[in-house]
Chain A
């Protein structure tokens, strides 16, 4: 009879290992959301010249702990005409895919849940499942604001998945693997993929902002028009699970994908000698990206729904498709070197940034012209 680690039966060890992993990941998500909410409030306060939380604990560090305790202790309120089963199921449907994503994140060489052969595809799949819970939450709340929020989020998340996945495919073409560990292992030097594929990074950054419902794409929960969107009827820990845990957990997942694909994952000075040091590098890179997310949130105003959709379908998707085609052609034309791909990508990035305001202004001018013509026609008719 084979014996696994600690003298346990392999079958028993598999179950014990699963339990340990789930407990660890849940603890990680809980703690990182507390920390991230604190960081979000403090960083926004600094950027807006305020103090931010400072009363509870040193530097206000315990503020989010107090908030979490309050949420857990709160009464479980459910409005009378909500759809019981779906209302209760929705937070779980949103939370579970995010939890399952942590299986393939490569924190350090000895610290990977499972080195799936299709790790990146698995992550994209789970990313597309979260929208189901949001739509169900909007529908089950039996509230027009929640319904509109759910509809908006369905449209937004499905649309922005396309440029996101196309950017990931561009990076995968260069790396040649879908396994998160192998992707990390190809970028050992200082020349990480960010220098080879800057445009794919930029497009993925934008679409991941949209997929995690972050400003400037937080239309599903736009408080000035929709109260709180699909979260309107939720309170207590259901709200906490859907907003705090899931949103910040998803931000961590998305930033980990970007870290692995473009920033070299766990690779850094000293990792070859001490592999567990990779956790430090990985965490530092992820938090640097999360800082960019918070910076964007403090800087940019929210988009309008038609601007959101036209930006995705008319600008982002053509750009990513062009990038994918150019990268694929150059990779086949020059199989031994990545320099042409890098040059083309940098040129495309500059062109994208320069042309974006020009195209948008032209589109706005045309929109104004058609609207004026329509107004004039209506005036003549009446």
Chain B
């Protein structure tokens, strides 16, 4: 009975992920796409919970829903809200997009269906220790490489923001009657 329930939940998550993913690509407005993307990430977190990897699920929601989607929305708010013209401009490339997506999906499908006799490995509850040991012992070097990469990206972002063009107009002078506090 519980196995069957797990299967039903898995099916619901799958339908939600595929449906919301399609919505992300096909929706006309960026905001709709961003929200649907957050929804996809939430459902993927549900998949991780089904697999017994609660920690990964929590990190998935923390990073992708809580940070990245919010940053995307933050960017969307600075863009003008005239969706149709831009949308139609990009819509011309639909056939090419479909061909590329199919090419990328083919190997994934082949690999996915080659697993039909694989055994499911259930972690014995509480994957946090295993994850910590994996990250800081077995995969310490890749972890450090990833953090150096992130640091480089951060320094690059700061340099891009800090660079002042010589032709920039001087900042508006403060009026005498308003001393800075």
User: A residues engaging B (CB < 8 A)?
Assistant: 11, 83, 86, 89, 116-118, 121-122, 124-125, 127-129, 131-132, 135-136, 138-139, 147, 150-151, 154-155, 158, 161, 178, 367-368, 371, 374-375, 377-379, 381
CB of A280 to closest CB in B, whole Å: 31
Contact of B173 with A367 in the complex, beta carbons under 8 Å: no
Contact of B67 with A121 in the complex, beta carbons under 8 Å: no
Contact of B70 with A132 in the complex, beta carbons under 8 Å: yes
Knowing A132-B70, A132-B73, A158-B67, the reply to whether A117 touches B125 (Cβ < 8 A) is: yes
Q: Which residues of B contact A118 (CB under 8 A)?
A: 54-55, 58, 128
CB of B54 to closest CB in A, whole Å: 5
- Given A127-B66, A138-B77, 8 more pairs with CB closer than 8 A: A117-B128, A121-B62, A128-B67, A132-B73, A135-B73, A139-B31, A368-B180, A378-B173
Q: Which residues of B contact A178 (CB under 8 A)?
A: 128
Contact of A377 with B61 in the complex, beta carbons under 8 Å: no
Knowing A11-B1, A117-B125, A375-B173, the reply to whether A132 touches B54 (Cβ < 8 A) is: no
Q: Select one of A117, A161, A374 contacting B54, CB under 8 A.
A: A117
Contact of A117 with B126 in the complex, beta carbons under 8 Å: yes
User: B residues engaging A (CB < 8 A)?
Assistant: 1-2, 5, 31, 35, 38, 54-55, 58-59, 61-62, 65-67, 69-71, 73-74, 76-77, 125-126, 128, 170-171, 173-174, 180
Q: Which residues of A contact B69 (CB under 8 A)?
A: 132
Knowing A86-B31, A116-B54, A154-B73, the reply to whether A378 touches B67 (Cβ < 8 A) is: no
Contact of A129 with B66 in the complex, beta carbons under 8 Å: yes
The answer for the CA separation of A132 and B58 in the assembled complex, in Å, is: 16
Contact of A374 with B171 in the complex, beta carbons under 8 Å: yes
The answer for the CA separation of A149 and B26 in the assembled complex, in Å, is: 30
Q: Which residues of A contact B170 (CB under 8 A)?
A: 374, 377-378, 381
Q: Which residues of A contact B61 (CB under 8 A)?
A: 125, 128-129
Contact of B73 with A136 in the complex, beta carbons under 8 Å: yes
Q: Which residues of B contact A121 (CB under 8 A)?
A: 55, 58-59, 62
Q: Which residues of B contact A147 (CB under 8 A)?
A: 77
The answer for the CA separation of A116 and B52 in the assembled complex, in Å, is: 12
CB of B12 to closest CB in A, whole Å: 15
The answer for the CA separation of A57 and B85 in the assembled complex, in Å, is: 59
CB of B181 to closest CB in A, whole Å: 8
Contact of B73 with A124 in the complex, beta carbons under 8 Å: no
Q: Which residues of B contact A381 (CB under 8 A)?
A: 170
Q: Which residues of B contact A378 (CB under 8 A)?
A: 170-171, 173
Contact of B128 with A151 in the complex, beta carbons under 8 Å: no
Knowing A86-B31, A118-B58, the reply to whether A158 touches B70 (Cβ < 8 A) is: yes
Q: Which residues of B contact A367 (CB under 8 A)?
A: 180
Q: Which residues of A contact B73 (CB under 8 A)?
A: 132, 135-136, 139, 154
Q: Which residues of B contact A86 (CB under 8 A)?
A: 31, 35
Knowing A118-B54, A151-B74, the reply to whether A131 touches B66 (Cβ < 8 A) is: yes
Q: Which residues of B contact A83 (CB under 8 A)?
A: 31
Q: Which residues of A contact B128 (CB under 8 A)?
A: 117-118, 178
Interface centre among B38, B67, B77 (most CB of A within 10 A): B77
CB of B106 to closest CB in A, whole Å: 34
Q: Which residues of A contact B58 (CB under 8 A)?
A: 118, 121-122, 125
The answer for the CA separation of A158 and B74 in the assembled complex, in Å, is: 11
